[in-house]
Structure 1
Amino acid sequence: MKEFILFLHPMLGVFGVITAVWVFVEVLNVSERNLKRINIASILTAILMVLTWITSGYWYIVYYAGDRALILKGPWAFAHNLVMESKEHVFFIVLVLSLFLPIVTKSNNLLENKPARSLVLTLTVLIVLISLALEGAGGIISFAVRMSLLGNI
């Protein structure tokens, strides 16, 4: 189960990024034909980011204590002290932006409302860029565990 959750949480985040890119592309080419797809993709982005939050929270509560102890005793202690602590808080920005996205896409006429389109494009870019940074942070944390297990090799 541990490995499944460890795989599931970043996978859901990546799918959330992909759906945010989907929203971005659809809004760049907004038409009457793709308004429904924009709404579907924005809802999927929100759902996937909520699922990412749930699975990462479960991982953190149930499994991370052992990894944290390893990291803090290893050569890359900053991976917990700085990277993980930052990741825990920065993710909430992505979560809020993702939950706001379907509200904006559903409550505005994106065909006529250029500021609303600009807002959706900005939201999706922020979701994607911050999420990619968080994926990189996860890689640093995973590498810190490996470095701790290797010792002083």
Structure 2
Amino acid sequence: MIIGGVAFVYENWIGHALIAIISLLLMVYALTTGATLRGRIKRGSGNAFKLHKKYGIYFGTFILGSFIYGLWIRLQHGESILLSVHGKLGLVILLLVVLQVIPSLILKSRARYRELHKTLGYALAPVLFIDASWGLYNGVISGTKNLVLLHSVSGGLASLVLVWIILELLYPKDRSLSRVRVASYLAVFFVTAGCWIAGGYNYLTSYSSQVKPIILEGPYPWAHEIIMEMKEHVFVFLPIIVLALSITLSILDKNNFLDDAKLRRALTMISFLALFMVLLMFLMGAIISNAGQIGTEGLR
């Protein structure tokens, strides 16, 4: 019903993106309950197995719906879904979901299948975030440049890693500190290399000379005057916040990490702030790129 409603309201890439975002949220919850079952994060109240199964089915359903919706959009334009990297990644994701969900529902003895199920689940996360980032930017600006695409995909992976950090902080176990350190190093890499270096280089070499004048002359000059100005400030502080978080986690003592709830709460808030900033940059980038595309079409 949700997929049908979105498809009815948005007969374009926006509907596909909304369905993909819902799928991402369901995937995060399914991964969380799965990690709880494996003992990687602390168990809460409730039946984790039933929740994992329930939201795994929801996740698989939304992935299937998103793929069908994307296929429908492609067919409306007379295009094959396999002509784009986004479409190929979508097909890979669908196959991974089928291989993960269907056997787990059919097999009575899941002991032999458990490791493969876990591997497929963890493999799905980065692939889905990459595909969602790729698809959103291709939807906003067709034929996007490689640097912009790298900037977008890095932001998606950074957000995934920050979610990982938040979960480890909220549900600490004996090995959580070592895992959260690795996650923080990855966050620093994705934010610095993809969001900062690639994004900054594209801003200096391409955006300032080509896109900015088009936006200012187009119908939405505020996309640069307000949104880009905001993004520039977030752009400056985001790597500093993520780096400070990583340094703090790297020097933390294991006992302090496990015993000091206030410390973990503070680190969790910082991680949420970094995640919010990444997602905000993603949204602002989409608005700016869309304004540039509209301005370009107006000049034709």
Q: TM-score range with shorter-chain normalisation?
A: over 0.9
- Identical-pair percentage: 30
Structure 1 position 138, deviation (Å): 0.3
* Residue 177 of structure 2 is aligned to residue 30 of structure 1: no
Residue 34 of structure 1, CA deviation: 2.1
Gaps of 5+ in 1: none
> Contact 1:104/1:116 (CA < 8 Å) preserved in 2?
no
Q: Deviations over 1:101-139 (max 9, x none)?
A: 112212223112222201210111001112111111001
**1:115 corresponds to:** 262
Structure 2 length as normaliser, TM-score? 0.49
Structure 2 unaligned segments of length 5 or more: list them.
Answer: 1-143
1:62 and 2:205 correspond: yes
- Once the two structures are TM-superposed, the CA of residue 8 in structure 1 deviates from its matched residue by 0.2
In structure 1, the residue corresponding to 2:262 is in which secondary structure? helix
Give the aligned partner of residue 160 of structure 2: 18
177, 187, 191: which one aligns with 1:45: 187
3-state secondary structure, aligned to 1:49 = helix
Structure number with bigger Rg: 2
Q: What SS does structure 2 have at the residue aligned with 1:76?
A: coil
Q: Distance in 2 between matches of 1:21 and 1:89?
A: 23
What CA distance in whole angstroms lies between the structure 2 residues aligned with 1:134 and 1:78? 16
Q: Deviations 1:24-71 (Å, cap 9, x if unpaired)?
A: 001111111222111100111111111120001110111112000110
**1:64-99 deviation per Cα after TM superposition (whole angstroms, max 9, x unaligned):** 120001101000111111111110112222211101
Say what the alpha-carbon RMSD is for the aligned residues.
1.6
20 and 87 in structure 1: CA distance in 2 versus 1, 3 angstrom threshold: same
1:148 paired with 2:292, answer no
List structure 1 runs of 4+ shifted beyond 3 angstroms: none
What is the DSSP-based 3-state SS (H/G/I as helix, E as strand, rest coil) of the residue aligned with 1:32?
Answer: coil
For 1:136 and 1:20, locate their aligned partners in 2 and report how far apart those are by CA, in whole Å: 17
Instruction: State how many pairs are aligned.
Output: 152
Q: Output the CA distance in 2 between the equivalents of 1:133 and 1:82.
A: 14
**Counterpart residue type for residue 60 of structure 1:** Y
**Aligned residue number for residue 136 of structure 1:** 283
Give, in whole Å, the separation in 2 of the partners of 1:15 and 1:100. 19
Question: Which residue of 2 is the match for residue 103 of structure 1?
Answer: 247
Report the Cα distance in structure 2 between the residues aligned to 1:95 and 1:119, rounded to whole angstroms. 18
8 Å Cα contact 1:94-1:127 kept in structure 2: yes
After TM superposition, give the deviation of residue 152 of structure 1 in Å: 8.4
Partner secondary structure for residue 294 of structure 2:
helix
CA distance in 2, matches of 1:106, 1:116: 14
**SS of residue matched to 1:106:** helix
Task: Indicate conservation of the 8 Å contact 1:46/1:101, yes or no.
Answer: no
